Structure 1
Amino acid sequence: MNTKRLWRLASLLTVMAMFVAACGAPAATPTAVPATEAPKPTEAPPTTAPETVGGFQIPATEAGKFNVAMVLIGPHDDGGWSQAHYEGLLEVEKNVPDTHVAYIEFVPEGADSEQVFRSLARKGFDLIIGTSFGYMDPMEVVAGEFPDSMFIHLTGFKTNGTNYGNLFGAMEVIKYIAGMLAGSRAKTDGNPKLGYMATFPIPEELRLGNAIALGMKRTCPECTMDVRWINTWHDPVIEKEGAASLFDAGAQVVFTGADTPAAGDVAQEKGKWGINYDHVGACKVERCLTTPYWTWGPVYSRIAAETKAGTYVPGYEYFDADAGGMGLYGFMEGQTPQPGVEGLPAADVQLVKDTLAAALAGKFTRFDVFKGPIFDNKGNQILADGVSLEQLDLDGFAAFGSPCKVCMYWWADGITAELPTP
């Protein structure tokens, strides 16, 4: 036989053997999994994988979850503004079932933030929260591109009424009460001078500064308040320099509108008093008199739950103290006043407590803080007796195109600084 015929014969024998095996062999039975080898649970893969865009790590979404992303101007553990928001975000994951949360920190305002918001929307995040004033316009642009995602912006004044809303709270109420405390402390120390370290010349900062001054006058009619503009939300070095400048100029108590606990830290060095901002844990030194702070958990949890259910309608949401979103450190339930409260006139401390209780009960609001008669620091009457500002006035500069009537471009009586250029 030649080679080709031998190959054909071998092939035929192989096929016959396979046929016999198939017909005569019993059917195979499945092999049982041993009792000691339980099947390993498999996790649902993420809808998307993390990626880097423009130097920022864009987090992944999770399949089957309601995905919430937060964008922070500073570090999530800054002891101030960003940390308060971050902790509120964690509460969302605890309080809203089947929710996944993620965050990106150190995102500058402007073009970088627009890129980050767009990347998060492309990833499929259902709710995106931007926590700085300068995110307003970039977020508005991206919201128009991604109608299936909800965008919430903090501290601004824009909304499209469909998937882009504005959110903030009436911290002016708590700052007003803190102003009472600061005025009492300065009066008691025999140095009736306060200082306010402001960030940027926007309505929010003038509103809060005016609230402090109005509260200050309740306990210390002779007190005055200077202002320093530091043009940053988060810069520990610049914030310390700003606080030191106010103390060196004679201030007995200094407030901050920025993110870090610099006012209290510098006060500790100078033997004066500082009032920090944003976070419940910001008063870490004895010379921190108090801290007006945010508790974003209840607010964010409600918004996330409503967005998930499809019932949230974005707009201009501006909550008062009775919403559970803010507090005054040392005066809330379970807290002990800071050492600087000791020795203050009992009537002043009681005024602080009574006004705070009324605010938390919804009986004292932002419209009570800004109720006439109110005069500016030039002697002009801003509001007649019994007349209150409207919400547009609290939020607006005419220079920004706001339809406000009175607006917020004025300094209250007792403030010694000139108005900034908006």
Structure 2
Amino acid sequence: MNSRKTVVTTLGGMIAASVLAAAPAAPTQVGFVYVSPVGDAGWTYQHDIGRKEMEKAMGGQVTTKFVENVPEGADAERVVRGLVTGGAKIVFTTSFGYMNPTEKVARAFPDRFFFHATGYKTGPNMGIYNARFYEGRFLNGVIAGKMTKSNIAGYVAAFPIPEVMQGINAFTQGMRSVNPKAEVRVIWVNSWFDPGKEREAALTLISQGADMITHHTDSTAIVQAAEEKHKENKNVYAFSYHSDMSKYGPTAQLTGTTHHWGAFYTRTVKEVLAGTWKGTNVWGGFKEGMIQLAPLNKAIPADVKALVQKEEKAMAAGKFHPFAGPVVAQDGKIKVPKGKTMTDAELGAMDYYVQGVASTLPKK
């Protein structure tokens, strides 16, 4: 009788062990922190598309969770910490102002992994990533320079950080590469997402003579404002940012600089799960597929389209750089001499306007 119990017990244990061994591992939780609502266009929308692409590519290996409309600062730290204590092994924080809160939480949880977009601080378990938005901005500027009638472009900007300065200056460089008379006027709204302020700024720039407008903010307000004015026979055109916003400006949007994060998110999560991640400092452009131009409006002349396509291919091949010298600051100082190209370190420290920007930079 005892021997039978032993056999039964042993067999039961073997079956249980077999079941446990066959049971799939629980999916890894991946968290995302967004600075604005997801919506259907814009910076956060593009990151959310990337999240979904990564989740699909990973099959059942991961589950994802996001928190949207999170203010930069102390509240961001609370949200990041909450994702980790709620089970997230990997967290992506997607706005510049999340950098210090992300770093603080990363130090507190050394067994978790954190990735911050657009910042510069890293750690043993914290990587950074960004896209070379300025490449697309230069090409947008080329189109603006060729098509403007007033020689004035308007730029609605969020905060005067290097990433935004790169975009303003690249757009200006592109515009003046084909039209030395062109100038760019900038209005700062001090917010990543405030459709009301963005719209007001766009209309102000248009009233000042801008017939080409663009933005480094998150909403569709600028493209919508341009569409409204275009319909009033003012021939105002716009360049979207983050997403293709042509459904909000089917006539006015000429193209835009769009961002693509899915491949990066998928690759990074795979590396973490495989135990092969050794640090991330990614800055990708046309070559890496992290930025693309939105479809070109049929209003763009054929020769301009050909020029833009030629310069895009040259950028992707590393044969052309938007900040190849000479690069001259607004005050006349030479930042990059002829024959040289601006380094990534110099790009990351950009805190000035180039010649061609007609506005005054806010004081720190």
Instruction: Answer yes or no: same fold by TM over 0.5.
Output: yes
Offset of residue 281 of structure 1? 4.4
Work out the CA distance in 1 between the residues paired with 2:286 and 2:270.
Answer: 21
Equivalent pairs, count: 335
Offset of residue 348 of structure 1? 2.7
Offset of residue 169 of structure 1? 1.1
* Residues 359 and 386 of structure 1, relative CA distance in 2, 3 Å threshold: same
Three-state SS of the structure 2 residue aligned to 1:420 is: coil
* Residues 215 and 77 of structure 1, relative CA distance in 2, 3 Å threshold: same
Work out the CA distance in 1 between the residues paired with 2:201 and 2:186.
Answer: 10
Structure 1: runs of 5 or more not aligned: 1-61, 331-336, 397-407
Give 2:173's aligned residue. Answer: 214
Work out the CA distance in 2 between the residues paired with 1:237 and 1:282.
Answer: 20
AA of the residue aligned to 2:348: D
Work out the CA distance in 2 between the residues paired with 1:391 and 1:262.
Answer: 31
* Residues 315 and 302 of structure 1, relative CA distance in 2, 3 Å threshold: closer
Task: Confirm or deny: 8 A CA contact 2:141 2:173 kept in the other structure.
Answer: yes
Give 1:279's aligned residue. Answer: 243
Matches within 5 A, 1:174-323: 174-186=136-148, 190-271=149-230, 272-281=236-245, 283-285=247-249, 286-323=251-288
Work out the CA distance in 1 between the residues paired with 2:45 and 2:291.
Answer: 14
Task: Confirm or deny: 8 A CA contact 2:244 2:255 kept in the other structure.
Answer: no
Offset of residue 64 of structure 1? 0.6
Give 1:159's aligned residue. Answer: 122
Work out the CA distance in 2 between the residues paired with 1:310 and 1:270.
Answer: 54
* Residues 220 and 245 of structure 1, relative CA distance in 2, 3 Å threshold: same
Give 1:18's aligned residue. Answer: none
Three-state SS of the structure 2 residue aligned to 1:277 is: strand
Three-state SS of the structure 1 residue aligned to 2:287 is: helix
Q: Identity rate of aligned residues, in percent? A: 31
Asked if 1:145 is matched to 2:108, the reply is: yes
Asked if 1:409 is matched to 2:351, the reply is: yes
Asked if 1:352 is matched to 2:308, the reply is: yes
Work out the CA distance in 2 between the residues paired with 1:156 and 1:415.
Answer: 25
Three-state SS of the structure 2 residue aligned to 1:70 is: strand
Work out the CA distance in 2 between the residues paired with 1:73 and 1:111.
Answer: 13
Three-state SS of the structure 1 residue aligned to 2:192 is: coil
Task: Confirm or deny: 8 A CA contact 1:219 1:348 kept in the other structure.
Answer: no
Work out the CA distance in 1 between the residues paired with 2:224 and 2:298.
Answer: 15
Q: Among residues 52, 66, 85, which one is paired with 1:122 in the alignment?
A: 85
* Residues 146 and 258 of structure 1, relative CA distance in 2, 3 Å threshold: same
Three-state SS of the structure 2 residue aligned to 1:114 is: helix
Three-state SS of the structure 2 residue aligned to 1:102 is: strand
Asked if 1:419 is matched to 2:355, the reply is: no
Matches within 5 A, 1:43-54: none
Asked if 1:388 is matched to 2:353, the reply is: no
Rg comparison, structure with higher value? 1
Offset of residue 283 of structure 1? 4.9
CA root-mean-square deviation: 1.7
Give 2:18's aligned residue. Answer: none
Task: Confirm or deny: 8 A CA contact 2:220 2:245 kept in the other structure.
Answer: no
Give 2:26's aligned residue. Answer: 64
Asked if 1:363 is matched to 2:318, the reply is: yes
AA of the residue aligned to 1:371: A
AA of the residue aligned to 2:289: G
* Residues 68 and 282 of structure 1, relative CA distance in 2, 3 Å threshold: farther
AA of the residue aligned to 1:369: P
Give 1:42's aligned residue. Answer: none
Asked if 1:74 is matched to 2:49, the reply is: no
Question: If the length of structure 2 is used for normalisation, what is the TM-score?
Answer: 0.88
Work out the CA distance in 2 between the residues paired with 1:81 and 1:216.
Answer: 24
Give 1:108's aligned residue. Answer: 71
Offset of residue 135 of structure 1? 0.5
CA deviations over 1:275-314 (Å, ceiling 9, x no partner): 1110134553211111101111111111111111111223
Task: Confirm or deny: 8 A CA contact 1:185 1:340 kept in the other structure.
Answer: no
Work out the CA distance in 2 between the residues paired with 1:220 and 1:266.
Answer: 25
CA deviations over 1:315-371 (Å, ceiling 9, x no partner): 4321222111111011xxxxxx21431xx3x433211011112334x3346xx2111
Three-state SS of the structure 1 residue aligned to 2:122 is: coil
